[in-house]
């Protein structure tokens, strides 16, 4: 725990620009500094740092806050870790107050695991470099595979000799607990034998460079011996959240804004040695969500290198929808026959490798489409299944513009009508949103907050001004915006449904009645949508949600997604605050009729109340300047409006308090 007084000391010392500059290249523009946002992909800078206010804000994605927020978002630090980082940077010595005995024990325990792993690393390296067996068996192997000594040391490569209990014995002599060795999987359960024997060793580092685990490769040609064996999972090693090489690659990935993913340890090491340092390996066939998040912390651009047969590749592709969901740009590179990244780079060199990869990188979805299309061979059933598969992948992409580009490309490749693909995609999106919303409704605590479709809108900034073409959502609750949003929601979701008995569409029903207020919305964005809709109706069209989901205006797209994802997620206190009945909870689709009537009434009520106020001001002004004629004219208007207002209020069931 850091004492409060020291927290203040750290915050006082912190300069936002100095912190951000460690991760983002900034240049000065007026009093602010700008750069490319590290939180979303962009080509023109919309990431602002304001030194005077000591805050940052991105106008593209809406992220913003203090230096602590920046570190928590960018480095995925906890609050305390962000403060520690700042304290180190500004050379403030933290005098921590006491932690609970449990915290101390947990820390001591994981420290002890790292300490023993570090001892094991030194042991394996010592065996590799300083013993005859190590030199003749293992060092010569690494050298034969083209590795330089510097690389071998940098990656913590080593050797576990044949002797059955050398590590255990050495550890005991140096005073390490055998129990800890056992916990780390370095020895047998009874503590009598070493786990890794006659193997070359690879250290698996965590992101900060500590040794979390080991992998050992046999040099024996005996097929009955497993080629690789690994440390078991422990408190310090969670396999599906670890990428081999991530520590060594971290900086390059950030600088190049791209991560290359390969399959093997040797691939990573050889590529690093050849200067291609933004390379990591997942020690399994498919990427896990935890591993993707590790990559996404540093870049959105992922290139995956495959060598292997089409069947294996097909299986690996399945995991990649996860990356699409995270809005990552995934590209696939197939290596020439019989080559893996290691052999390719050893034979042709780093430059040729980079050139090959850049030239042959294919977009993931198009690659998948082509690969699967080859297999359908004109079989219509197989093709139908393929289309479903591809559309499912596309539906995972959060960005509607990207989605529509893919739909176009794939409709060409598959020779299927683009609109058919589009409606299938939207069906899947709405379905998955609905499922998530239902899940959230059933179990509110379990809502995943990293889901881009359900993420809460970014907070409205109080310190920076928004540019006009923002993409974040307007805040709800100011002025008449709540009623306006409801109107827009009904238009987008149910605009083309029919009202009964009027036999007119929901959109015509609403818009005809509020035509004169269309230019008068408190929230410009809502007004824009209502006007857009009105225009289309006049041209005889009834736009579907697709129209707004794929609208050229990013703010409209974002809002539409939000509306589609949260039609029923109303906070209970809105009922009181905004007199908003939750009668549409269970089956919203069937209630658009009564919804539309009430929404319209509430909207008109708010606008009338506002007009009453404006008119009242006119009456007062007229009375002050003694203009009795005007005064009486305005009072008549006022009376009419009050009558109308009370009438609507009665039908909505609202008590007018003023
Ligand atoms: Zn951004």
Write out pLDDT tens, residues 178-236: 999 999 999 998 999 999 999 999 999 987 788 999 999 999 888 888 888 999 999 88
Residue with tokens 């307007």: 474
Interhelix angle 524-538/481-494, rounded to 10 degrees, is 40
State in Å: Cα 298 to ligand 1 middle.
14
Cα 471 to ligand 1 centroid, rounded to whole Å: 11
Q: How far is the CA of 207 from the centre of ligand 1 (A)?
A: 24
Ligand 1 centre to CA of 57 (Å) is 8
Mean pLDDT of 624-653: 82
Banded model confidence at residue 159, pLDDT cuts 50, 70, 90: very high
For residue 38, the CA-to-ligand 1 centroid distance in Å is 6
Q: How far apart are the first and last CA of the chain?
A: 52
Tokens in use for 292? 């993707």
Tens digits of residue pLDDT in 314-370: 767 777 888 888 888 999 998 887 788 999 999 999 999 999 999 999 998 888 888
**CA dihedral angle for residue 203, residue 209, residue 211, residue 214, rounded to 10 degrees:** -30
**Which pair of tokens denotes residue 656?**
């007018």
Measured in Å, residue 438 CA sits from the centre of ligand 1 at: 30
Closest by CA position to 228, among listed 216, 237, 212, 219:
216
- Cα(554) to centroid(ligand 1), Å: 14
- Averaged pLDDT score across all residues of the chain: 81
Distance 86 CA to ligand 1 centre (A): 22
Would you say residue 471 has pLDDT above 50?
Answer: no
State the burial class of residue 617 (Cβ atoms within 10 Å of its Cβ: 0-12, 13-18, 19+): exposed
Tokens coding 210: 């500590």
pLDDT band with cut points at 50, 70 and 90 for residue 653: low
pLDDT digits (tens, 9 = 90+) for 422-455: 888 888 887 777 776 666 555 544 433 333 333 3
Question: How many angstroms separate the alpha carbon of residue 320 from the centre of ligand 1?
Answer: 24
Tens-place pLDDT, residues 556-583: 877 877 776 543 333 334 444 444 444 3
CA of 45 to the centre of ligand 1 (A): 9
Distance in Å, CA 325 to ligand 1 centroid: 18
* pLDDT digit string, tens, across residues 86-133: 998 888 888 776 677 887 788 788 888 999 999 999 999 999 999 999
- Residue 32 structure tokens: 């602010």
Peptide bond into 345 cis (omega under 30): no
In angstroms, rounded to a whole number, what is the distance separating the alpha carbons of residues 428 and 398?
12
Nearest residue to 243 via CA among 256, 262, 227: 262
pTM of model > 0.75: no
Output the CA 484–ligand 1 centroid distance in Å: 28
């Amino acid at each position: 725990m850091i004492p409060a007084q020291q927290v203040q000391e750290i915050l006082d010392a912190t300069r936002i620009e100095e912190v951000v500059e460690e991760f983002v290249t900034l240049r000065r523009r007026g009093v602010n500094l700008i750069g490319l946002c590290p939180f979303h992909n962009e080509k023109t800078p919309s990431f602002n740092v304001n030194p005077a206010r000591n805050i940052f804000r991105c106008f593209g994605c809406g992220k913003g806050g203090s230096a602590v927020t920046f570190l928590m978002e960018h480095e995925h630090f906890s609050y305390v870790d962000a403060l520690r980082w700042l304290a180190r940077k500004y050379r403030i010595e933290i005098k921590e107050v006491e932690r609970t005995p449990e915290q101390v024990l947990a820390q001591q325990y994981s420290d002890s695991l790292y300490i023993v792993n570090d001892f094991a690393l030194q042991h394996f390296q010592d065996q590799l470099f300083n013993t005859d067996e190590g030199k003749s068996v293992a060092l010569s192997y690494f050298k034969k595979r083209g590795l330089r000594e510097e690389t071998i040391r940098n990656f913590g490569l080593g050797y576990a000799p044949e002797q059955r209990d050398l590590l255990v014995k050495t550890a005991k002599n140096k005073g390490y607990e055998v129990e800890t060795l056992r916990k780390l999987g370095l020895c047998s359960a009874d503590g009598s034998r070493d786990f890794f024997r006659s193997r070359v060793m690879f250290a698996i580092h965590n992101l900060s460079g500590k040794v979390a685990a080991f992998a050992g490769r046999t040099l024996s040609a005996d097929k009955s011996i497993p080629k690789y064996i690994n440390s078991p999972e422990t408190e310090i090693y969670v396999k599906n959240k670890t990428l081999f090489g991530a520590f060594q690659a971290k900086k390059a990935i950030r600088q190049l804004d791209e991560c290359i993913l390969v399959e093997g340890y040797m691939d990573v090491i050889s590529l690093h040695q050849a200067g291609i340092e933004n390379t990591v390996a997942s020690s399994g066939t498919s990427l896990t969500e935890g591993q993707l998040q590790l990559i996404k912390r540093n870049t959105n651009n992922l290139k995956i290198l495959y060598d292997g047969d089409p069947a294996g590749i097909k299986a690996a592709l399945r995991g990649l929808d996860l990356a699409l969901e995270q809005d990552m740009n995934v590209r696939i590179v197939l290596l020439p026959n019989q080559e893996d990244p290691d052999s390719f780079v050893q034979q042709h060199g780093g430059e040729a490798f980079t050139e090959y990869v850049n030239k042959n990188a294919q977009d993931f979805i198009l690659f998948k489409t082509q690969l699967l299309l080859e297999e359908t061979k004109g079989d219509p059933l197989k093709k139908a299944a393929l289309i479903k598969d591809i559309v499912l992948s596309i539906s995972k992409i959060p960005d509607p513009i990207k989605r529509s580009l893919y739909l176009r490309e794939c409709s060409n490749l598959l020779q299927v009508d683009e609109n058919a693909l589009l409606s299938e995609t939207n069906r899947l999106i709405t379905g998955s949103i609905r499922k998530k919303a239902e899940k959230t409704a059933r179990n509110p605590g379990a809502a995943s907050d990293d889901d881009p479709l359900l993420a809460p809108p970014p907070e409205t900034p109080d310190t920076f001004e928004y540019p006009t073409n923002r993409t974040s959502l307007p805040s709800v609750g100011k002025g008449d915006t709540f009623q306006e949003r409801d109107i827009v929601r009904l238009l987008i979701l149910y605009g083309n449904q029919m009202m009964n008995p009027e036999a007119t569409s929901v959109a015509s029903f609403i818009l005809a009645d509020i035509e004169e207020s269309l230019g008068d919305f408190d929230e410009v964005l809502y007004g824009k949508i209502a006007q857009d809709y009105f225009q289309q109706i006049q041209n005889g069209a009834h736009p579907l949600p697709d129209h707004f989901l794929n609208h050229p205006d990013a703010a409209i797209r974002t809002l539409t997604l939000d509306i589609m994802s949260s039609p029923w997620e109303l906070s209970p206190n809105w009922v009181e605050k905004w007199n908003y009945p939750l009668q549409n909870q269970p089956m919203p689709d069937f209630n658009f009729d009564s919804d539309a009537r009430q929404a319209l009434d509430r909207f008109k009520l708010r606008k009338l109340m506002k007009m009453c106020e404006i008119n009242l001001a006119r009456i007062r002004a007229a009375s002050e300047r003694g203009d009795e004629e005007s005064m009486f004219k305005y009072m008549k208007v006022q009376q009419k409006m009050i009558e109308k207002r009370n009438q609507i209020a009665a039908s909505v069931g609202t008590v007018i308090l003023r």
